Amino acid sequence: MTIKETGFQGLVEIFPRIFEDDRGFFFEAYNKEVFNDHGILYDFVQDNQSFSKKGVIRGLHMQLAPYAQAKFVKVITGKVLDVVVDMRPESDTYGKVYYCMLDSKLNNSLMIPEGFAHGFAALEDSVFSYKCSNLYHKASETGILYNDETLNIDWGVENPIVSEKDLELPTFREFVARNETVH
Ligand SMILES: Cc1cn([C@H]2C[C@H](O)[C@@H](COP(=O)(O)OP(=O)(O)O[C@H]3O[C@H](C)C(=O)[C@H](O)[C@H]3O)O2)c(=O)[nH]c1=O
C-alpha cells in the first residue's frame, strides 16, 4: 500500500499492492495498521455504496461538527473524477480544490479528512464505495453548489444529472457567511 501526499493536510491518495495470478488479483483495500502508521487514526463506523450513471454529479456534500465525516473513498467499478474542497478555516489550503481520478482499473482510493466538502462526477457508469468516520446525521448535512462560480470546478462532464437537493445547496460565499463549524 503506497500513500501519496497531496499538499493538503491529511488528504492522501492510496495505491494498494496488487497480487495478480492466473485466477485474477487480490489486494488489501484497507489496513488499519498501515493507516495508523501514517497518522490516519479515524475509526470508520459506516460503509456507503452508490451507483451513478455516466454524467451524474453528486455533491459537494459535508456534515457539520460534531457529525463531521472523514471519508475513505474509491470506485468498485467504473471511473469518477473525485473533487474535494478544504473548508477548514485554519488550513493553509482553505478554499482550495483538489481533483483525484478514481479508477477501478487502478484500484486507487482517497482518504478525505473531516472538514472537506466532497463530490464526484461519474465519467463512466460507476459503483462508488466509501467508509465514513461518523454516522449519517441528516440535520447536520450541508454542502456547496457544484457549479459555484468562486470554486469554478471543472467536473469533466457536460449537462450533468444532479439531484434537486444538490441544486439547492448554498454557494461557497453563502456557506462561508454562515460561519458554521466544519470539523
Ligand atoms: C448519505 C446518506 C444518505 N442516506 C439516504 C438519504 C436519501 O434518502 C438517500 C440518498 O441520499 P443522497 O442523495 O444524499 O446521496 P448522495 O448524493 O450519494 O450523497 C452522498 O454523496 C456525496 C458524494 C458524499 O460525499 C456524501 O457521503 C453523501 O452526501 O440516502 C442515508 O440513509 N444514509 C447516508 O449516509
**What distance in angstroms lies between residue 10's CA and the mean position of ligand 1's atoms?**
23
**ipTM tops 0.85:** yes
Buried b (16+ CB within 10 A) or exposed e, 43-82: ebeeeeeeebeebbbbbbbbbbeebbbbbbbbbeebbbbb
Catalytic residue ranges: 61, 130
Sorting pLDDT into bands at 50, 70 and 90, what band is 103?
very high
pLDDT surpassing 90 at residue 137 = yes
Joined together, the cell numbers standing for residue 9 give 493536510
Joined together, the cell numbers standing for residue 37 give 502508521
Which residues have C-beta atoms less than 6 Å from ligand 1? 48, 50, 58-59, 61, 71, 118-120, 136, 163, 165
Give per-residue pLDDT as tens, 17-59. 999 999 999 999 999 999 999 999 999 999 999 999 999 999 9
pLDDT surpassing 90 at residue 179 = no
Q: Rounded to an integer, what distance in angstroms lies between the CA atom of residue 104 and that of residue 120?
A: 14
**What distance in angstroms lies between residue 57's CA and the mean position of ligand 1's atoms?**
12
113 by Cβ neighbours in 10 Å (0-12 / 13-18 / 19+) ranks as buried
Q: Identify the sign of the CA torsion 42, 142, 9, 31.
A: positive
All domains of the chain in start order, with CATH: 41-178 (2.60.120.10)
